[in-house]
Structure 1
Amino acid sequence: MRRLVPGAATREAYGNALIALGAEDPRIVVLDADLSVSTMTARFGGRYPDRFFNVGVCEQNLIGIAAGLAACGKIAFASSFAVFAPGRCFDQLRVVVAQPKANVKLVASHAGLITGADGKSAQALEDVALMRALHGFVVMVPADETCAFWATHAAARHVGPVYIRLGRAKAVRVYDSFDTFEIGRAVEVVEGQDVTIIANGVMVAAAIEAAEMLDVEGVRARVLDMHTVVPLDRDAVVRATTETGALVVAEEHFLAGGTGEAVARTVAEAAPAPIEFVAARDYGISGEADELLAQYHLTAADVAAAARRALDRKGRR
């Protein structure tokens, strides 16, 4: 099993990646909506002030200006909190980014329940669903700082719209290195043949811990980091379904419109098998990140329990 250790927040890795990209490519420009200290884009602004634009508290303008810069040949990274973008600027994302396939990268921080004490109004649990609905967007949910760093690099190389979902809290480190990161290609972080756990974001660490719990019981669980939700790695899903015969999908997002539904569609179309889902089922409350994950049944123990249910259904087929 992988050794899990404390790491930095994915938003911190994003800030570091922007500085590296800024040195490599003068086309990189960064925009923010008055949250640059929290989203970590201030780091880029301090290093490259002539390529940094703070548009103020207006997410609609954030996206419109980013699209305009992209039309002029720039690689535009636009950042805010996930509740504000895509939440407040969905129309602009649809019309001036998705439809013309503008080279805009929306990177949203403070997503999910782990935003914590700020409460339900600040906890984006439907952002992936919104972005999946916009045709042509790549949608990524990195597990840790290393994954977020290289996902940002991959977004810069990709020509077209990208959405990256980041967290506020420090994340468990899953990867020591990940310079082979590839959009649309899942990573098998734990080998197994009895059941497959598909996860992304903070739930990857929980999935690995769940696999360790199941291993004690003699169950060999495969864990896939599905860091890219769109385009989904259908081959990895079909292969896992065929080889293990049972699935769990774990995500820090509403069940509706999330990774679980994307996986379920693939399974229904290509290789039917029992699937269990670990996901948020209601809006959040204020609390510490770990407390909220436990309150909403998004822990390693919950993932392991879902795997047992999937195995039980597999045995009854």
Structure 2
Amino acid sequence: MAQEIIAATDGSALVNPGPAGWAWYIDHDNWSAGGWEHATNNQGELRAVLELFEATAHLPEHKLKVLCDSQYTINAVTKWLPGWKKKGWKKADGKPVQNQELIQALDEAMQGRNYEFVWVKGHSGQDMNEAADTRARDAALSFQQGTPTPSGPGFNLEVSPETDTKHVPQETKNSSVEDHTKNPSTAMNVDDVLGLVKGYERTLYQPEHYEQEQYLEKVLGEDFWWVTYQGIRTQRSLAVEYRTRAFYAHDEPIFISCEMLGDSVIRLLSRVKTRHMSVMRTSLWVQDTTGDLGWVLSSRQDTACPQES
């Protein structure tokens, strides 16, 4: 049986189109990322898959399982591509296929390969997907801010039919946050833990999560408090009661920094567009050895900042 390499891919556009990034991720020692000053989210998604196929091109005998949260990308390369080729790279309405160059390059890269695409729900706590998403967004931020792009170590797995399979991820977790085993971060390195917590932070900007009282009870610490940009201190019970009003935002957060403070505290700084203005938000996450997620949100503090022009 052919050995299997499991990797997650993701793309991120801070403005669509705008500063954008792509990333593929296998583990802490095997990932890559890049981006552009101006591109679309779909271009990032496609480029991530292309880069993954090219990075593993020397191992055509190994099955490549691609975890992807973009249904557009999966459909483009597994369903629509043959028809587009027959029609001279035209869609059913006669218009040119968007992102044709990337899709053509992918078509060539997939020739002779043993592969499988698996859709996973984005921003739902699936470890590898969150790691790829974090790296793609960090790459996009680097182009937005003019800082060096964290490109990653690339592909370094030395695999062969006789290689010990422990070096190749053999299974993935369900894409739902609620399906994590207890304390999923216990065996993870620092970068992966930070990526996991960023994923949990993002769920609090998604109505399917924050509108569920049961989920907030799980992700908010027992002593959670929140200081608004007006200087008003809000307790956990009030945040849960008025959750839709409290957690609503116009977009996902733009992460500025994420760092460990000791062994059991993570400080996450982000910029968020709320109902009234943009705020700089400091979130403190603490390790929870008894909960389902392994980490809970301990506190938040917002500081008003000027709106972007």
Q: TM-score, normalised by structure 1?
A: 0.27
Q: Decide which structure has greater helix share.
A: 1
Q: Decide which structure has greater strand share.
A: 2
Pick the structure with greater CA Rg: 2
